[in-house]
Amino acid sequence: MPGNDEESLKKFLESFNVRPLRFVAKSLHLDVPVYVGAKAPYVKALLTWRLAQPLTNPDFIPKAVNLQGLKFIQRVILKTATPSWINSVPRNYGESSAGTIKADEWRILATIYIPIALVLLWGDQPKDDAERLGEMLSHSMALFQAVTLVCRYSSSQARSDAYRLFIKQWVDGIHENHPHTEEHHARINIHAAFHIYDFLLLFGPIMAWWCFPFERLIGTLQKINTNDHVGGELEGTIVRSFWRGANLRRHLSRPDCPEVVKQFKVLFDLTFSPRLDRSAESVPNEHGKDRVHYTHQGINYSRASTHLGNSLVMYYPSKDSKSKVAGSIQRIETHENQTYFHIQRQAPLPPGKFDPFLPFPHFPAKTYSSSLEDIIDRVPPESVLSHCARFEFSDNRAVILDLSRQ
């Protein structure tokens, strides 16, 4: 980009051919004598016009998320340690090469990565336009907290009321925080978002009745090569296949199922079962050796040296504890058919350090020190409450996000 002095502006304009110079001069209604093939008059006219304009636009509002901010969001996506059951999202989020973001990817972005990034971008350090960014942060976090609430596995009157309040706060602040939205008609999905409150009261948690399973089924059906066989043949094949699968599953569950068939049931479940077995438990280690991972109630936990994301947990350090703490599993020990996790605690935030996540109680994130304490707790798997995500940022701090959906 050229500077604001006359010489650099002149060199910049002279780098163009006469046709674009003529087009711009005509667009600005500049009076330029016609010289065939000569660009000097256009350069002079455009230079005179530019020097007469103010250097800055007093009404200019900078972008809330510029290229630097987008790169930071991508860094949060890349550097946040998460357990393996968290599905991946495009690391080049915000770029055209990322493709179309799917609904489940939006859910993960809106409940983990984007809130972490925006709180650190807009709410952590004082900036020149801190007041405007603070208002935009409160507005954005109203939506993210609403999404976090409805994506939990349990609901209540209090959570439903909080959801409706957050949605109202977000809708009320759309035009103020994003003035360009006034040019468009209100979307029908904004109206529908308020009705989710009624559905939460009538039907319970949203995961019990949302339509994503049917969306995935439709996507699967669309990928089937029908060879132009239409008129009921495809539908009949699908129904017969469904019946056969249902009959086979029923036969495998019967007590009189032959033993030789039962031996293949484990392989069948691993291959075709779409649901996570919440009762799954690792078999006790016969030799009493340390484990690299352990499955408890269908959830896989690992030591930090094996998989950092699977080692990050929220837990009770003792039987009498009422406050959960964050930590990282360093060792998984089996002793006399009982498994224990050796968990190193995440160090608390030092006094005087700022936690930018405090204003958002329904986004379960908290700032800690980026270091681990020397304290190691030996606890059974039953003391672990959930996995958590961790992102380390400035001033030797780390944000810990509780991933519990209860």
For 262-294, write each residue's pLDDT tens digit.
777 767 666 665 555 555 677 666 556 789 999
Q: Which of 287, 316, 314, 323 is nearest to 380 (CA)?
A: 316
- CA distances to 72, 241, 395 from 128, in Å: 19, 63, 20
> What would the two tokens of residue 186 be?
């209100």
What pLDDT was estimated at residue 5? 77
Model pLDDT, residue 4: 65
The predicted pLDDT at position 279 comes to 59
Rounded to an integer, the average pLDDT of 22-50 is 85
Round the average pLDDT of the chain to a whole number and report it. 88
Distance between CA atoms of 235 and 226, rounded to whole angstroms?
10
pTM here is: 0.76
Top-confidence range, 13-17, 243-247, 333-337: 13-17
Residues 198 and 182: their CA atoms lie apart, in Å, by 28
Given a cut of 60, whether residue 3 has pLDDT beyond it is no
In percent, the amount of the chain with pLDDT more than 90 equals 55
Q: Please say if the pLDDT value at position 40 is more than 70.
A: yes
Q: What's the whole-number mean pLDDT along residues 10-26?
A: 90
- Three-class DSSP category at 341: strand
Nearest to 252 by CA among 266, 265, 234: 265
Domain layout of the chain by residue ranges: 6-51, 67-212, 224-272, 293-402
pLDDT tens per residue across span 290-316: 899 999 998 999 999 999 999 999 999
Report residue 144 as tokens: 């993210």
pLDDT in the model for residue 245: 82
What percentage of residues in the chain have a pLDDT greater than 70? Answer: 91
